[in-house]
Amino acid sequence: MLRSASRSGAVALTSAALMGLSALAIPAVAAADDTVCAPEDVTYSVTGGTIEWGVKQSFRNYLNMPFVEGGWNLGEGVTFQGAPTGADGRFIWPVTSGAVTSQNSAAASGEGEVHLHGHHGALDTRISNPTVEIDGDEGVLKMDYRGTELNMDPNADPVYTEGTQVVAATFDLNAAGTFHKAGTVTVGSDRSILHSEFVPALGNYAAGSEMDPVTLNLEVSSACEPGGGDNGGGDNGGDDNGGDDDDNTGGGIFGSLGNIFGSLGF
């Protein structure tokens, strides 16, 4: 990861010494400014990943019961892994956009649809385009849905209900995510909790029902963009001129001068 290069060898400088040596020191300051990238200049972006959710194991099991004659079709890049009726079964959406908003927070969205069906069309529900928002150790899953309302009369005309980016489930993370890194960040839960906004999508579960785990695998990349912050110069004013210890990171020009004097053996 990019960060400020360490500076050492600081020495105490009086104003008189600085003034007397300014002609030597100032041109050298630029050369001595070996800052690579200050932490505040590092930006993090989402380059890919996946969102995993199995909805609810008992629902997947229900769809596979003989009297339901149901199942699911996957569209637009969505895949399924694990056993269809098992605890490890889950739908996997590819992440198509996202952002790292802080060290411990991020958001990502996927595209693609899962078409859940059964009872010869009486159950005909599509859930799609999930968004996962992580804030510390808490997560929210949002989705679009369009599907038939629960009606167990096989002769009734299906009535459709729909929602866009409604809260499907909330969850507590097993461990808070740390998104200020380059690489894959995985955060997840042991289970999720059905939110009231998503109750119509599945018809037969009350808000607060226990649902399957949510997992977010996020591909994060880092880049250095100097100019967004103060580029590592730190506080260049004040009275602390790096003279009483060997930590010169906050000195700006004065800190660089400390390096020069240090290397000259003062």
Binding residues for ligand HEM (CB under 6 A): 56, 58-59, 62, 119, 122-123, 125, 147-148, 150-152, 154, 202-205
Shortest Å, Cβ 204 to ligand HEM: 3
Tell me which amino acid residue 253 is. I
- Nearer residue to ligand HEM within complex by CB, 58 or 101: 58
Q: CB neighbours of 139 closer than 8 A, spacing ≥ 6?
A: 132, 133, 170, 171, 172, 173, 187, 189, 214, 216
Longest dimension (CA), the chain: 97
- Nearer residue to ligand HEM within complex by CB, 85 or 222: 85
Shortest Å, Cβ 152 to ligand HEM: 4
- Nearer residue to ligand HEM within complex by CB, 56 or 126: 56
- Nearer residue to ligand HEM within complex by CB, 7 or 60: 60
Cα 132 from Cα 194, distance rounded (Å): 14
Shortest Å, Cβ 56 to ligand HEM: 6
Cα 6 to Cα 40, 105, 244, 255: the distances in Å are: 16, 28, 17, 11
Shortest Å, Cβ 77 to ligand HEM: 25
CB atoms within 10 A of CB 115: 17
Q: What angle do CA 178, 50, 197 make, to 5 degrees?
A: 90
Our separate counts of H helices and E strands in the chain read 5, 13
- Nearer residue to ligand HEM within complex by CB, 37 or 202: 202
Shortest Å, Cβ 93 to ligand HEM: 21
Shortest Å, Cβ 224 to ligand HEM: 50
- Nearer residue to ligand HEM within complex by CB, 150 or 224: 150
Structural contact between residues 259 and 247, judged by C-beta atoms closer than 8 angstroms: no
